[in-house]
Amino acid sequence: MAYKGRLPTDNHNVSHQQPAKELLLLGSALMLATVLIYLLLGLLIDRVVSSLDPELEYKWFGHFATAPNQPGAQQQALQQLTNQLQQCSTMTYPVQLHFVEQNISNASVLPGGIMLVYQGLLKQVNSENALSFVLAHELAHLEHRDHLRGLGRSLVLASLVYGVTGSSNASQWFMPATELGLAQHSQQRELAADAKALMILHCHYGHTGGAEDFFKAMQQQSSSALPDWFDSHPALSKRLAQLALLQQQQGYPVKDATPLPDMLQP
Amino acid sequence: MIAFLGFITLLLLGFFVGRYLESRHFSSIRQREAELVVLPNTSSRYQLIPMQQIERSELVTGSVVISIDYFKRIVAGLRSLIGGPVQSYETLLDRARREAILRMKESCPGACQIINVRVETSSIYNAAGNGIGSVELLAYGTAIYGQVQATNGL
């Protein structure tokens, strides 16, 4: 029989399914599984952090940063103020304050009771009470172990994203989703720290005057009109509203604030 | 946020542009296959069509490198997590295979048939980076030129 060439009528080597459907199906299943694992691990971290002895934490992390041999006058004054405020909190281990000469209006805490206070912060506070509120807020973070929670959650998230996508760069693509997850948790912790800071302020000074000064100063500077869903911190207006509400509910008196000591004048 | 928007843009670009280019390629393949159906090829080392006289024979090759689009790569990446047929790669390989054979056929105008055809593949892959994800297909065989034996009915 002679050969006669002809083309096949059908192509059985390719599937005729919609690729977009496959992406949606696989993507949403994966997303759901990741969110579930993240939530579960987040709860686990909360449990572990709550049961981690503060003394142990201090032992592990407390010596990561060593204080300068000759602390400056500002550092000493801030450390003294922090120590006084600490008496109003339930923190059991010493807080090591580091004064960072950078023009950033912020303060933060690290595991092991290390508190960083940036020089720029002093320009934003107009009284000792306003400064104390920021320090008390950081103390509250240490007391609530928020630094460990945040660290733990970020680690879980980074490893999840890496595990799922196989790329450490991929976390950038999913940044909005991951930040949303972290942000909602973080905003709650910030509000809780604000409430505790107000309590410490009331305990130390007998009134809560000047508590809102720092937020007000920041509010004048920031012009961000974006919604705060992705921010690690709640909107300043929300924080100010909470302070006012707490002052009213708890009956905290508001009196004139103490001026900043000369040493801490910017 | 910018990186995420970039990801979405690349995904949409891959989906729409990739789909358009693929369907254009497939229609070109179908058209050329219909034109070249008169040049038969076989994997056998025996002639498919008996020859009355063979003038010459030569090695002919056709090779093509085709890359997948971003969208397909993401779908394939998701698929690789749970396993199963990677459907988004199927069209890539089908296109490449048929294009390579077509190029081989087009490289020998006037030939009567191509015997001993082999198709080989290799992936062009950059392991250090994000992986280019292209595939090379090489088709080669022996083109036979000459006069076809006249047969009854043809």
Mean pLDDT by 10 residues, chain B (154 residues): 78 92 95 94 93 95 92 86 87 94 96 96 70 85 92 54
Q: Which residues, in sequence order, are bridge partners of residue A98?
A: A116
Residue A51 has φ and ψ, to the nearest 5°, of: -90, -5
Query: Chain B closest CA to A137's CA: distance in Å?
Result: 29
CA angle B80, B81, B83 (to 5 degrees): 60
Report which secondary-structure segment, H or E, holds A200: helix A175-205
Q: A58-86 pLDDT, tens per residue?
A: 777 777 766 666 778 888 888 989 999 99
Q: A194-227 pLDDT, tens per residue?
A: 999 999 989 999 998 888 888 888 887 765 555 5
Please answer yes or no on whether B153 and A2 come within 8 Å at the CB atom. Answer: yes
Q: How far apart are CA B139 and CA B105, in angstroms?
A: 10
Please answer yes or no on whether A30 and B37 come within 8 Å at the CB atom. Answer: no
Share of chain A above pLDDT 70, in %: 86
Q: Is the dihedral of CA A28, A33, A37, A43 positive or negative?
A: positive
What's the pTM? 0.62
Residue among A167, A159, A161, A185 nearest A46 (CA): A185
A164 touches chain B (CB under 8 A): yes
pLDDT at residue B154, as a whole number: 45
Q: B45-90 pLDDT, tens per residue?
A: 999 999 999 999 999 999 999 988 889 888 888 888 888 888 888 9
Cβ contact A226:A133 at 8 Å = no
Segment A144-149 mean pLDDT: 84
Buried b / exposed e over A150-183, threshold 16 CB at 10 Å, is bebbeebbeebbeebbeeeebbbbbbebbbebbb
A167 touches chain B (CB under 8 A): yes
For B97, nearest residue in chain A (alpha carbons): A13
B131 touches chain A (CB under 8 A): no
Please answer yes or no on whether B49 and A13 come within 8 Å at the CB atom. Answer: no
Please answer yes or no on whether A19 and B40 come within 8 Å at the CB atom. Answer: no
Going across the sheet that includes B51-67, the strands are: B51-67, B134-148, B113-124
What residues of chain A lie within 8 A of the CB of B48, using their CB? 3
Residue among A198, A217, A218, A193 nearest A208 (CA): A198
What residues of chain A lie within 8 A of the CB of B7, using their CB? 173
Q: How far apart are CA B110 and CA B125, in angstroms?
A: 37
A214 touches chain B (CB under 8 A): no
Residue B40 has φ and ψ, to the nearest 5°, of: -75, 150
What residues of chain B lie within 8 A of the CB of A15, using their CB? 85, 87, 90
Q: Residues in chain A, how many?
A: 266
What residues of chain A lie within 8 A of the CB of B37, using their CB? 5-7
Q: Which of A6, A168, A172 to mutate to test the interface with B (most CBs of B within 10 A)?
A: A172
Please answer yes or no on whether A7 and B82 come within 8 Å at the CB atom. Answer: no
Please answer yes or no on whether B87 and A22 come within 8 Å at the CB atom. Answer: yes
Q: How far apart are CA B27 and CA B116, in angstroms?
A: 27
Domain layout of chain A by residue ranges: 27-222+231-264
Q: Domain B2-148: which topology? A: Translation Initiation Factor IF3 (3.30.110)
Going across the sheet that includes A107-110, the strands are: A96-100, A114-118, A107-110
Please answer yes or no on whether A7 and B85 come within 8 Å at the CB atom. Answer: no
DSSP codes of every residue in A54-102: HHHHHHHHTTSS---SS--HHHHHHHHHHHHHHTTS---S--EEEEE-S
Residue B118 has φ and ψ, to the nearest 5°, of: -125, 145
Q: Which of residues 4-33 of A touch B (CB under 8 A)?
A: 5-7, 11, 13-15, 17, 19-20, 22-23, 26-27, 30
Which ipTM score applies to this complex? 0.71
Domain layout of chain B by residue ranges: 2-148
CB pairs under 8 A, 24+ apart, for B74-78?
A: B74/A23, B74/B11, B74/B14, B75/A19, B75/A22, B75/A23, B75/A26, B76/B133, B77/A165, B77/A166, B78/A22, B78/A23, B78/A26, B78/A27, B78/A30
Cβ contact A157:A41 at 8 Å = no
